[in-house]
Amino acid sequence: MHDRYTRREILRLGFAGAAGLALTKLAPAQQRPRSDGRVKNIIFMVSDGMSAGVPSLADEFGKLVRGKGAFWHQLLQSPEATLGFFDMAALNSIVTDSASASSAWGSGSRIFNGQINVLPDGTRLTPIAQIVRQAGKKVGLVTTTRITHATPAGFAAIQPKRDDEDDIAPQYLNVVDVLMGGGLRHYAPNRRRDGKDLIKTYQDAGYTYWNTRAQATSSARPEKVLGLFYDSHMPYTVDHLNSDELRRTVPTLAEMTRKALEILGNAPNGFLLQVEGGRVDHAAHANDAAAIMWDQLAFDDAVEAVYEFASKRDDTLVIITSDHGNSNPGLNGMGGEYEASNKAMAMLQHAKCSFEELPNKLRNANSADDVRNILKEQLGIEINGEESTALAGAVKGNLPPIWNRQHRSLQGLLGQILSNYNGYGWVGTSHTADYTWITALGTGREEFHGLIRNTDAFYKMLKLFGLSHKNPSMTPEEARKYISRAPRIRTEDWA
Ligand SMILES: [Zn+2]
C-alpha cells in the first residue's frame, strides 16, 4: 500500500499516527535551506552500538513504559528528515570499534580499531574539533560514557591506544568548550596514575567545573564547562531510575544536552556538538535487553531536546546515527502465530537493575532456588529449574557447555536463558558489521541520503561549515604491513 503514496501523503492521511503522535509538533521543522547552503551549527548524535533492530523495539517499549513512542520514530516519518546509512568499516576490519568509527567521522580517514586519529604508520590526523575551533566555532562533547572514551575522543583527540584515557583527558583543553559526561577518574589527582590535578588545570584555563546534577540543570551558562558527573561511565538509565540517590545527583543525557545547547547556542560563529548515548553499546555487550531499551529512550529524550533547539532555526544540521551494531538484538517470533512476542517483550518493563548490578546480586546466591528468586525479584522473570541450576553454576565460575564462544560468560548465558522468556535473541556479545541508521535534519541534510561511507561525514561537515582540510589516509593494502602494530585489546573490552 505504501508504494502508492509519498511519505508526505502518508502523514497527511494519518497512517503513521497510530498513537496520535504529535505530528503537528513536527510541522515547524519545515526548515528552509539557507541560500548559501552553509550551516552555522552541527549537532552529531550517536547511539553507540545501536543495532538496526533497536529503534523499532524502543518505540514499542516507550509506549509500554512511558505511554509514548520514541521521538526518533516520529522524525523517521517526517518529510523533513533525510534517511540514510553509514558504511562504518574500519581499515583493518569490516567490524568496527568506537575508536576507529568516531575517528572516521572525526578526521575523514579509516584507521585500525583501537586507535584514535592515527594512521597505522603513526601519522597523526587532525580531528574536526581542532579545525572548527580554529575557524572560531565552539565545540561540545556530551556523553554518558567517560568523556575520555572513544566516541567523544574521536572528534577531538589523537591517541595511538584508545585505552590511554589519562592521556586523552588533557587533550580537550582549549579544543572543546563544553565537556559533560563521566570519567572523573581521568581528571582527579587521586585517581590519575600520575597524580596530576587536571580539574585545576582546566579551571586555571577558564573552565567552570561541575560535578552535580544541580549544577548541570541550574540557570548558569558559563562559557567553558568541565562537567564530570561520575567516576567512570555514568550509570545505566535503568539503574538511575531505580535509585533516588542517582536521580538526585546524576544528570540525564537530555539534561546535559539541553545545557550544552544553552551554552553553545550563544556562540557567535556557531558550534559543533557531539552527543553520545554511550551505554546502549555496553548493554548490548552484556546482552541486557532492558538496559538497552531504557538507555535508547534516554538517548531519544536527548534527540527531542536537540530537535527543540534545531527546529526553530535554519542554520543547523542534525545527524542522528550509530557507530556500529552490537550483538544485534532481535525480538523473536514467540508462540503460535507469534502472538506471544509482544507479551514477551513487555516483560522487560519489570527489570529493576542492569546486568552491571545483577551479577553482584547473583553472587550472594547459594542455590539454584536463590538464583531463580533473585531473577524473579530483579527482572520479573521466572526461569525453570534446569536454567537456574546452570546459572547457579555459572555464578560460581562453572559454565555449562555453550558452543557459541561469544556467549561463554555469565552475561552471555543470562542473555540466552532470558531470551526464552523475553524473546530477545542475540548473535553474540561483540560489535557487528551492520550499516548504521542515519537521520538528518535541517540545512545540508540531503548530503546524508542513501549509503554514506563513514569518512565522508568529515568532509561533508567541513564543506557545510564552509571549511576545508585534507587529512592523509591509507588503503587496506598499504595498511597491511602495519597489522602487527594494531593495539592488542581484548575483544570484550572493545566498547
Ligand atoms: Zn562496544
pLDDT (0 to 100) of residue 487: 80
Residue range 243-266: average pLDDT?
97
Angle between the 456-465 and 98-107 helix axes, to the nearest 10 degrees? Answer: 40
Residues 6+ apart with CB under 8 A from 6: 79
Closest CA relative to residue 473, chosen from 132, 111, 153: 111
Residue type, 268: P
Q: What is the pLDDT of residues 428-473, one digit of tens each?
A: 999 999 999 999 999 999 999 999 999 999 999 999 999 999 999 9
pLDDT (0 to 100) of residue 492: 47
- Select which of 47, 51, 78, 98 is catalytic: 98
CA 88 to ligand 1 centroid distance, Å: 14
Nine cell digits for residue 165: 584515557
CA 491 to ligand 1 centroid distance, Å: 9
CA 403 to ligand 1 centroid distance, Å: 22
- The angle formed by the CA atoms of residues 457, 101 and 467, to the nearest 5 degrees, is 30
Q: What is the pLDDT of residues 175-202, one digit of tens each?
A: 999 999 999 999 999 999 999 999 999 9
CA 216 to ligand 1 centroid distance, Å: 27
CA 450 to ligand 1 centroid distance, Å: 25
CA 356 to ligand 1 centroid distance, Å: 15
Residue range 323-332: average pLDDT?
97
Using only C-alpha atoms, the chain has a radius of gyration, in whole angstroms, of: 22
| Per-residue pLDDT at 212 exceeds 60 | yes
- What class does CATH assign to 36-328+430-470? alpha beta
The mean pLDDT value of the chain amounts to 92
CA 411 to ligand 1 centroid distance, Å: 15
CA 224 to ligand 1 centroid distance, Å: 29
pLDDT band, very low/low/confident/very high, at 36 (cuts 50, 70, 90): confident
CA 149 to ligand 1 centroid distance, Å: 11
CA 4 to ligand 1 centroid distance, Å: 40
Sign of CA dihedral 126, 130, 136, 140: positive
CA 52 to ligand 1 centroid distance, Å: 15
Q: How many Cβ atoms from other residues are within 10 Å of residue 262's Cβ?
A: 14
Sign of CA dihedral 379, 384, 387, 390: positive
The kind and range of the H/E element at 317 are: strand 316-321
**pTM as predicted:** 0.92
DSSP state of 470: -
Closest CA relative to residue 198, chosen from 216, 186, 210: 186
pLDDT (0 to 100) of residue 168: 98
**98 catalytic per annotation:** yes
131: helix, strand or coil:
helix
Total residues found in the chain within this entry: 495
CA 120 to ligand 1 centroid distance, Å: 21
Burial class of 64 by CB neighbour count within 10 A (0 to 12, 13 to 18, 19+): middle
CA distances from 226 to 150, 152, 207, 213, 293 (A): 18, 14, 6, 13, 29
- Name the residue ranges covered by the structural domains of the chain: 36-328+430-470, 330-425
pLDDT (0 to 100) of residue 37: 77
CA distance 142 to 398: 40
Q: What is the pLDDT of residues 41-78, one digit of tens each?
A: 999 999 999 999 999 999 999 999 999 999 999 999 99
